[in-house]
Structure 1
């Protein structure tokens, strides 16, 4: 496993959550590729921490579906598997559907404006093929419902499950196909403005289910 180019940037030991987030982000952004072996010693050198928080982070990542522990052998980055991705997608779509249903009745104009602004940034990022900015804007858009819903369990579950979809989103947001999400977002805002919580919730679910798994063998 090649040590990421970020090696040495951590000047003091990281908190456990920071260790988890650093490894998770390296998996999601492709620094650690599917099937790559994650070696404790190299992770220690990169992050500047002991083996204990690294093992704890890897256990969390295994539960999240981002790594696979091969008993007595190694821990590897989980492959981009269509079946497991679909299972996660269905859960994430359902969680966002619930967030919308809870949030719409109490939305204020400032929340709708924040969603519209995020969607505008999302569209500009897609046009510029700026995948990182597109992901951030998409996160900002959906975070409005999650925050306004007032349900911390929803937030925690999404933090655990959404990263599995990030690798798929990186492929999609770099393609023309992602632009249909701009129109879907606009329709969600329209329905939310009308106060139609059920329709907005269904639209949110469909927006997440429209994400399609692709691979090098299937560029569609």
Structure 2
């Protein structure tokens, strides 16, 4: 008989803590994650940490980097484009369905009000909050549109990939000039939803994702070429 694995809940909590530290910038791309250090920080044994790291490696969040061992995976330009190709179509589907619900008079007031508040907050001259708060607001906008669509499968499909989607959003917003542009596009998408124009909402959502991916992939490629060998 094989011994039981560590308590799943503890492994999941360790995994969630590591993911949280990655998405909030505590752990940067290329940074080594050592079992001993993580176990000490989290006050747990090495076993649940080991299991959590293996899960994150399988998910592509961590990668092996020579002698450094497991490190935080970089956001590669091609990978970012692949992520946005998928997310853009989910976003477009959600926006079109949300607009159709508005046109039919069946859209719930809660998500509509949530998006309106985000638009007011983030469209201020300097936006609202620090970098992590701006990333949170971007995620909140898109997840609110998912809920507004009335199709829970969209959010269910997206949920396992949000750590990757969020990291791609971080890469986009790392350019300070992107924040105001992103929220002007969000305003246009929501205007189409509020007008009940499903076609326009879908088109604007897909264009928003595709153009963000193109600009950011080009910037990341340029930055990588400029790095010393």
TM over 0.5: yes
**What are the within-5 Å matches in structure 2 for residues 169-184 of structure 1?**
169-174=169-174, 175-184=176-185
1:155 paired residue number: 155
Q: Distance in 1 between matches of 2:75 and 2:204?
A: 26
Which residue does 1:132 correspond to in 2? Answer: 132
Quote the offset at 1:109 in angstroms.
Answer: 4.2
Query: CA 1:133 to 1:125, structure 2 compared with 1: closer, same or farther past 3 Å?
Result: farther
Tell me whether 203-212 or 56-65 shows the greater mean CA deviation.
56-65
- TM-score, normalization: structure 1? 0.77
Q: 1:103 & 1:63 partners in 2: Cα distance?
A: 34
**Distance across 2 between alignment mates of 1:18 and 1:197:** 40
- The alpha-carbon deviation at position 97 of structure 1 amounts to 1.8
How many angstroms apart in 2 are the aligned matches of 1:60 and 1:151? 29
Q: Which whole-Å deviations, capped at 9, do the CAs of 1:142-163 have from their partners, x for residues lacking one?
A: 1212123344443243233232
Structure 1 residue aligned with 2:49 = 54
Quote the residue 1:207 is aligned against.
208
Report the Cα distance in structure 2 between the residues aligned to 1:163 and 1:123, rounded to whole angstroms: 25
Larger Rg: 2
From 50, 58, 80, the equivalent of 1:85 is 80
1:73 Cα offset (Å):
7.6
Task: Give TM-score, length-normalised by structure 2.
Answer: 0.75
Q: Give the RMSD, CA atoms, in angstroms.
A: 3.1
More helix by share: 2
- Decide whether aligned partners of structure 1 residues 169 and 38 sit closer, same or farther in structure 2, where only a CA change above 3 A counts: same
Structure with larger RCO (C-alpha < 8 A, sep 6+): 2
SS of match in other structure, 2:25: coil
1:19 corresponds, among 9, 14, 26, to: 14
Match of 2:223 in 1: 218
Which whole-Å CA distance do the structure 1 matches of 2:28 and 2:51 have between them?
Answer: 20
Displacement of 1:192 in angstroms is 0.8
Query: Closer, same or farther in 2 for the Cα pair 1:154/1:129, shift >3 Å?
Result: same
- Shift in CA distance, 168/126, structure 1 to aligned 2, threshold 3 Å: farther
Q: Which runs of 5+ in 2 are unaligned?
A: 1-8, 102-106, 225-229
For residues 34 and 73 of structure 1, do their structure 2 counterparts lie closer, same or farther at Cα, with a shift above 3 Å needed? closer
